Amino acid sequence: MRTFPLPHTGTSVSSIVLGFMRITDLDRDRIRRLVDTALDAGVAVFDHADIYGGTPHTCEKLFGDAVTLTPTQRERVDIQSKVGIREGWFDFSHDHIVATVENSLAALGVDHLDTLLLHRPDALVEPEEVAAAFDALHNSGKVRGFGVSNHTPGQIELLKTAVKQPILFDQVQLSIVHSPLIAAGLTANMSSEDQSVDRDNGLLDYARTRGITLQAWSPFQSGTTSGVFVGDRLNYPELNTALDEIAEWHGSTPSAIATAWITRHPANIQVVLGTTNPDRVVEAAAGSDVRLTRQEWYRLFIAAGHTLP
């Protein structure tokens, strides 16, 4: 498992993050097996959110009921959760943030979160409210670090007008196929290319200069609602041929190479897995260690349908 130093903290994190959004159909034994496999593979970040499972704290409670980490395991695993999405609206108010964290801790069966992320940008955000909530949670020891999800550089800068703690993470959608985060910069100033439209407001370069670690969700998806591109030879024949050939060269698998494409980037982007299959976790962990050449990385980029000028 590839690890790297996490800016602003003096600690290191795993390149692979295991998400627990889809565990509602798993019994306790299968959840424990998933967690044990992840720990054995070196995964050291577990990702939750208060909304996962359809009703508040459902997946967190399933995890907490099934998993009891030893003190040694808890020390080396970062547990993160997210807050802010409510039914039909977003809420970054002080009271909602604090109350949600209290409920998440109870559901997970832990005494602190290593990281709390603001889930989706709240158009009515008041940075002073967020800052007061972060201070209260940090000072009480209930949350050690903070980040955001799906935020632009401007939205992060707005938060930072009041928030004192460093913003450690921004969790965003990224895969070989869905990569405007990267692709736009390669066709900058080309009015004839739709790819040149910057949909992320320069987030990748902003994050690298500010020491914000990006976390890639849906790393094997071709879009927000579309399916997995690995193995989809009908829609992505050239990409799957490239994945197969590069995987064979490295003695690996196509899914591992899709992981390696993200972890190869010098921004040290983490890959957030949504799988409930322990074997997929092992594959991704192995993929994080594969070092693609520049030629291989760009071949996959082009095979996914992106443009090089």
Q: Give the residue numbers annotated as catalytic, written as ranges.
A: 52
Secondary structure of residue 253 in the 3-state scheme: coil
Give just the sign of the alpha carbon dihedral 52, 47, 290, 205.
positive
Look at residues 296, 222, 298, 306 and name the one whose alpha carbon lies nearest to residue 252.
Answer: 296
Q: String of b and e for 149-159 (b: at least 16 CB within 10 Å)?
A: bbbbbebbebb
CA-CA distance, 254 to 250, in Å (whole number)?
A: 10
DSSP states of 121-185 as a string? --TT--HHHHHHHHHHHHHTTSEEEEEEES--HHHHHHHHTT--S-EEEEEEE--SSS-HHHHHH
CA-CA distance, 256 to 292, in Å (whole number)?
A: 11
Going by C-beta distance under 8 Å and a sequence separation of 6 or more, which residues neighbour residue 144? 112, 113, 114, 115, 138
How many residues are given for the chain? 309
What are the tokens at 190? 């080309």
